[in-house]
Structure 1
Amino acid sequence: MRISKGVLKIMASLLGLAALMGALWWSLFGLKPYEIDARELQRRYAYGPPHDLALKLAPIDQARLTQDFSFSSFDGATVNGRIRYPADPATAGAPFPLLIAMHGMGRSHWRWWQAEYKGGKTREHTHQLTALALQRGHAVVAIDARRHGERKDPKVNVEQLMDELHIWGKREPYEAMLVDTVRDHRVLLDWVTRLPQIDARRIKATGYSMGGQNALLLAGVDERIGAVAAIVPILLDDKLAAVAAKNLLPGLADNRVWLLTADQDEYTDSARSRGFFEALPGADKQHLRFAGGHLLPADYVARLGPWFDQR
């Protein structure tokens, strides 16, 4: 079947129009790299301790050794979360090392405590990582990230925020969500490191996906973190420079960093993961690679045992 010249001309015109529209969209809305220096990064992640923490701390649930809490963050926003102890703090012989646990996008801090939440399974197995931490004598604390869990914005949900990022190039709301979540954790650190049952010299951070990204960012700006286990973190380039962990590498020099990645990760390709690991400035680092995609096999949890045991 022959296609007439007229039809070919129309097809060529449509293709040209599509290319023109694509170029116009890119020039107007496409995310483009930008530069950010160390001083500006420091300014972005700086915070002022709240005048009134407005801490609400429930009594310890003796059956689960948990305490639910809320407090006012640096900007007055309410932060909610839970801390769980490996033993009763009232009878413990020494303060506990602490694990700060950060959840992934679209999740909440409950994913660190339960195998199921609201009818959905915790497929990232983070509740098992909590169990391992407790077995290794660590207290575990987790809060909801900005725009997640009890802190969801009824006007703009996370899916809309990501659409605005990728379609319209609105990076500021996404970057603010992560930066302010890190700042919330810095306020959290101000509180928990003053607790007599917590060993402020032994603070670790971990997280899955967006949580792994946030764990790296927190350790990169706050020297109170001594070790990081970043599980399939989202590793960004300079199109989102303020929340690209590679730009905070100097702050990770004194950390023990374990990087867990997937060879077929849908969000961070293996070449970028390898490059990030190689760029880590400290000598105390390990890279654990897994076959498959962003959801790691459940046995990744056991592989982290030695990370807890090292001081």
Structure 2
Amino acid sequence: MKNLWFLIFIIVFIVQTSAQINIEVFNYTKKPSNTATIVHKQPIDSVTVFEKIVLDGSDSKVPFYHFENKRPEAKNYIILLHGLGGSKNDWVYPSKPYLNWSDNLKSIKDSLISQGFSLIVPDAKYHGERSYELGFRPAENLPPLLSKNETDGEHFEVLMSSTIKDVRIIMDYFQDRYVDNNISFSIIGYSMGGAIAIILNAVDNRISTIVSCVPPLHHPEKELKGFNWSEEVTNGLKTVTASNYAAFQKSPTMLLLGNQDFFYTDDEVTNFMENIPLTQKEVNYFDSGHELPNEYKVDVLRWLNEYGVLNN
């Protein structure tokens, strides 16, 4: 009887959540692989090749870094997603003012390569080389509580939904490019990137596993109280709120969080994890705020080696 009531609860939760979100915004038209251009290529060592690639995304050009690992025959890809206001360079070129944090991102990237993973590192919409799409305005000012502007709310929804579609288009490209290889895709996302990872794990069946680091689970929906914005904008922002996708997680899910981070509460995290209908799920807290300490790298590598590796 207890299991029956739990099943009923999950069904009701899914129905209520589905009424609030519109996952059709993540649908896209598949692009021909010949729209991609390798604009730079160089060997890093005898088994690793670096490429910079630009392809046609959902609504604009998408530049990304590709680290091709020739150690294993199988192509085990990890997609590295940066946070709001960051760029693909956060994972590659450590810089101030968050030098220690970006040093750790680079360390994760280097460790993944040494362990045989290939990497995809894109710029999110409005970020990095794509900042011109927002008129070079800082994308970190778009969330409702900061901008207090409905048009910026629309921009934030587009930022999230377009980036999700772009990542799916990038996966298409590599499936076409390596049609004769076994290929898998896993994701590490930090902050906004962690929220995007959660949504991708709900809407795309190709994700093997995700590691979501300090995701703002209930944002931007949590920020909408007090704003009398249109239903279209409000529902659009709910659709790009990660917490609404707990019940739809398809693959093993790890959350790495700071116990002093203001982007989520213990109750919010507990509810989110309880609503994930998987046994392969884990949440770990660190004694930190939004910037995780170096130790989180150990959990990242452990989880990806357990769930993100195909046999050759």
Give the TM-score normalised by structure 2: 0.78
Q: Please say if 1:196 is aligned against 2:178.
A: yes
Q: Percent identity?
A: 22
Matched with 1:161 is 142
Q: Tell me if the contact between 2:50 and 2:68 (Cα under 8 Å) persists in the aligned partners.
A: yes
Distance 1:199 1:51, change over 3 A: closer
Residue aligned with 1:190, SS: helix
Matched with 1:148 is 127
- Deviation track 1:52-110 (CA, whole Å, cap 9, x = no partner) reads 752111453113521111011133x0100111133xx3xx5513200011001111001
Matched with 1:81 is 64
Q: Tell me which amino acid in the other structure corresponds to 2:31.
A: P
Residue 226 of structure 1: how far off its partner (Å): 1.3
Once residues 180 and 126 of structure 2 are traced to their aligned partners in structure 1, the CA distance between those partners, rounded to angstroms, is 28
Once residues 93 and 155 of structure 1 are traced to their aligned partners in structure 2, the CA distance between those partners, rounded to angstroms, is 40
Q: Tell me which amino acid in the other structure corresponds to 1:128.
A: S
Q: Please say if 1:289 is aligned against 2:288.
A: no
Q: Tell me which amino acid in the other structure corresponds to 1:244.
A: T
Matched with 1:247 is 244
Runs of 5+ unmatched residues, structure 2: 1-15, 225-236, 308-312
Matched with 2:167 is 185
Residue 247 of structure 1: how far off its partner (Å): 2.1
Runs of 5+ unmatched residues, structure 1: 1-34
Q: Tell me if the contact between 2:209 and 2:304 (Cα under 8 Å) persists in the aligned partners.
A: no
What does 1:29-40 align with in structure 2 at a 5 Å threshold? Answer: 37=18
Distance 1:185 1:200, change over 3 A: farther
Q: Tell me if the contact between 1:95 and 1:197 (Cα under 8 Å) persists in the aligned partners.
A: no
Q: Tell me if the contact between 1:97 and 1:198 (Cα under 8 Å) persists in the aligned partners.
A: no
Matched with 1:271 is 267
Once residues 172 and 58 of structure 1 are traced to their aligned partners in structure 2, the CA distance between those partners, rounded to angstroms, is 32
Residue 267 of structure 1: how far off its partner (Å): 2.0
- Deviation track 1:166-201 (CA, whole Å, cap 9, x = no partner) reads 523442211111011000101101001223299554
Which of 214, 223, 244 aligns to 1:232? It is: 214
Q: Tell me if the contact between 1:98 and 1:198 (Cα under 8 Å) persists in the aligned partners.
A: no
Residue 268 of structure 1: how far off its partner (Å): 2.2
Residue aligned with 1:306, SS: helix
Residue aligned with 2:43, SS: coil
Once residues 135 and 297 of structure 1 are traced to their aligned partners in structure 2, the CA distance between those partners, rounded to angstroms, is 21
Q: Please say which structure displays the higher CA radius of gyration.
A: 1
Q: Tell me if the contact between 1:101 and 1:207 (Cα under 8 Å) persists in the aligned partners.
A: yes
How many aligned residue pairs are there? 270
Q: Tell me if the contact between 1:47 and 1:183 (Cα under 8 Å) persists in the aligned partners.
A: yes
CA RMSD of aligned residues (A): 2.6
Matched with 1:133 is 112
Distance 1:198 1:260, change over 3 A: farther
Residue aligned with 1:202, SS: strand
Which of 90, 93, 98 aligns to 2:77? It is: 98
Q: Tell me if the contact between 1:55 and 1:70 (Cα under 8 Å) persists in the aligned partners.
A: yes
Matched with 1:19 is none
Residue aligned with 2:168, SS: helix
Q: Which moved more, 1:160-169 or 1:125-134?
A: 160-169
